[in-house]
Structure 1
Amino acid sequence: MRHLIFAINITLDGCVDHTKQAVDEEKLEYFTQLMREVDVQIFGRKTYELMVPYWPDVLKNPSETKADTDFARAFDSTKKVVFSRSLESAEDRNTRIVRGGLRDEILKLKLEQGKNILAGGVDVSSQLIELGLVDEYRFVVGPVIAGEGRRLLEGVSLPERLQLKLVESKVFQSGSVALRYLKQ
């Protein structure tokens, strides 16, 4: 069975708003490697619209950095499933829109052959966590105290406390720390 991995950048005070922290080459390389471990990405509409057309457009710009281009290439090559009731159509050729049935769709994807599945963003990922469907958590904690902004799991009531096991950590030159946890 494939694993569902949730990955996100987060500040020391728990802010997951992408505008409150910087993404450097080390972070991009980390997420590029993670992207190569999966063949399906899960998004809600908001996160999808932040990622597309931004990353596919990076591939069209020869002046981008190697880290940006490598991430864009990895991003562009994976299938995407967007859970949305309002998104009319997908700009990306590898994207499928699903109107409902989050739990059933994820369980079906987990049973398919292939690499792992990656979930990003906040809304859909919070629902996946609440449903107990996330197998692995990857947090890249930046050395920033934002003092404001969106927090993970806002408005979500977990049915029970999640106990995770730290299986890997990596310190970046920037002071960010990548933490990899498995669900126990």
Structure 2
Amino acid sequence: MGLLTFSINVTLDGCVDHHEGIVDDETHAWFTRLMDENGAMLWGRVTYELMEGYWPAVARGEVDAPPAIREWALKLEAKQKYVASSTRSDFPWTNSHHLGGDLQASVHELKDATPEGVLIGSGSLATELDRLELIDEYRFLVHPRIVGHGPTLYQSGLPSTRRLDLISAQPLSNGVLGLHYRRAG
């Protein structure tokens, strides 16, 4: 069974607004390595729609992008992508699949079918999956910014505290810190 890893950009005050992080070759390389380490991506519908509106065009060369961004787009294009949604079932982007029905059962099946692991990058979906105690690991890029607005990490709360073990901490030259945690036994 593969691990389900939640990964997202977050500021020091917990903001997960994708406009607030440092976007450069180094942060893209960090996420590209993480994506390479996993067999599939898992998103909610909103994140999928955000991604499908931009990254396929970058992969096709229709958007001028630096090499690190283009590399990410090409690898993302080839990656298996699963979308948990109760409101949409058609996902035409290459290698995209609907994950419907009972969320807990569907994610268990996906983890079983993906020994290389599944990477989730949707904050609200991650909250729901954490409530179901399905997330095994957390990989955060913590940006040295305090922005004072939301959305924030786990803003709708969890039923209990999650105790985590630090696996690694990797400072990047741009001041961002890559953190890898695993759920404590």
TM range (shorter): over 0.9
Deviation (angstroms), 1:113? 4.7
1:80-121 per-position Cα deviation (integer Å, ceiling 9, x unaligned) = 111112225213121112333111011111222531100011
1:37 alignment partner AA: E
2:14 counterpart SS class: coil
1:169 counterpart SS class: strand
Aligned to 2:57: 57
Aligned to 1:39: 39
Q: Where do 5+ consecutive residues of structure 1 fail to align?
A: none
Aligned to 2:127: 126
User: How many percent identity over aligned positions?
Assistant: 34
1:33 alignment partner AA: R
1:21-80 per-position Cα deviation (integer Å, ceiling 9, x unaligned) = 232111100000011111211111111111113111111227421101111112111111
Residues 9-20 of structure 1: matches in 2 within 5 Å? 9-20=9-20
Q: Is the 8 A contact 1:28 1:71 kept in 2?
A: yes
Residues 71-86 of structure 1: matches in 2 within 5 Å? 71-86=72-87
1:13 counterpart SS class: coil
Aligned to 2:97: 96
RMSD: 1.4
Count of aligned residue pairs for this structure pair: 183
TM-score by length of 1: 0.94
Q: Where do 5+ consecutive residues of structure 2 fail to align?
A: none
Q: Is the 8 A contact 1:83 1:102 kept in 2?
A: yes
Aligned to 2:180: 180
TM-score by length of 2: 0.93
Q: Is the 8 A contact 2:39 2:114 kept in 1?
A: no
1:125 counterpart SS class: helix
